[in-house]
Amino acid sequence: AQKVTQTQTSISVMEKTTVTMDCVYETRDSSYFLFWYKQTASGEIVFLIRQDSYKKENATEGHYSLNFQKPKSSIGLIITATQIEDSAVYFCAMSRTGNTGKLIFGLGTTLQVQP
Amino acid sequence: EAAVTQSPRNKVAVTGGKVTLSCNQTNNHNNMYWYRQDTGHGLRLIHYSYGAGSTEKGDIPDGYKASRPSQENFSLILELATPSQTSVYFCASGGRDKNYAEQFFGPGTRLTVL
């Protein structure tokens, strides 16, 4: 069965530092997509970045980047130069088997950025 | 300019009453989804749709119906609301077809069933 696991429940970092959030997944698919989302304090869920499993290069988007380690079924989110407004809950997600467009989500990691 | 909107944003309903949550998207995406979010469970898929006229059951469809009358609109219907359906509901759209794609979420609806 497919599964997405985020082992870090919460992380606290100082502003302007770099933080990495972990995510491991389970799938038997040979091709799949991985995503990271951010949920702000207001409840808004925002798409951040995506990694296609067949691409060896790690995706980057602004101050977000990914550490994709396919042999370890791992997709870490790296945020550089963190800002107070990066404080939020971050969800990892994976495309589901069957080419349906559906996603399976992890339970999230709460990031608190301290001034 | 928001691409996915939901109404109402907050709703208080009585047990046994009918509740309809509405979602509109301007992304021109074929696929649309309804989730509920509860502490400890994350985002759980209730129903989804591949296009106008289509609805499919997700992981937790019991007690919910869905309707997709057009490309832009997708509704979630609770025919007989129960307190266990108190939750935050999110609508999302994503993908031009059944291929994998990121989903874009609406702002959510907080539903309380008394």
Query: SS3 string of B34-64?
Result: EEEEECCCEEEEEEEECCCCCCEECCCCCCC
Best residue of A37, A38, A45, A61 to probe chain B, by most B CBs closer than 10 Å = A45
Candidate from B40, B99, B107 with C-beta closest to A101: B99
**pLDDT at residue A34 greater than cutoff 90:** yes
Output the CA–CA distances (angstroms, integers) from residue A111 to A80, A84, A86, A99, B41, in the order listed: 13, 10, 7, 32, 18
A chain contacts of residue B33, beta-carbon cutoff 8 Å: 102
Candidate from B98, B103, B107 with C-beta closest to A43: B107
Give the model's confidence band at B98: pLDDT under 50 very low, under 70 low, under 90 confident, else very high.
very low
Say whether B94 and A99 touch across the interface (CB within 8 A): no
Say what percent of chain A tops pLDDT 70: 98
pLDDT for res B89? 98
pLDDT for res A43? 94
Candidate from B42, B43, B101 with C-beta closest to A101: B101
Locus of tokens 């990271």? A36
Best residue of B102, B104, B111 to probe chain A, by most A CBs closer than 10 Å = B102
Smallest CA-to-CA distance from B29 within B106, B103, B108 is with: B103
Query: Which element (helix H / strand E) includes B65?
Result: strand B65-67
What does the pLDDT average to over A82-108? Answer: 90
**pLDDT at residue B1 greater than cutoff 70:** no
pLDDT for res A7? 95
A chain contacts of residue B101, beta-carbon cutoff 8 Å: 33, 101
Rg from Cα positions in chain A: 14
The structure tokens listed for A90 are 């971050």
Output the CA–CA distances (angstroms, integers) from residue B17 to B13, B20, B78, B82, in the order listed: 7, 10, 8, 8
**Tens digits of residue pLDDT in B46-76:** 999 999 999 999 999 999 999 999 999 999 9
pLDDT for res B52? 95
How many residue pairs from chains A and B have C-beta atoms closer than 8 A?
52
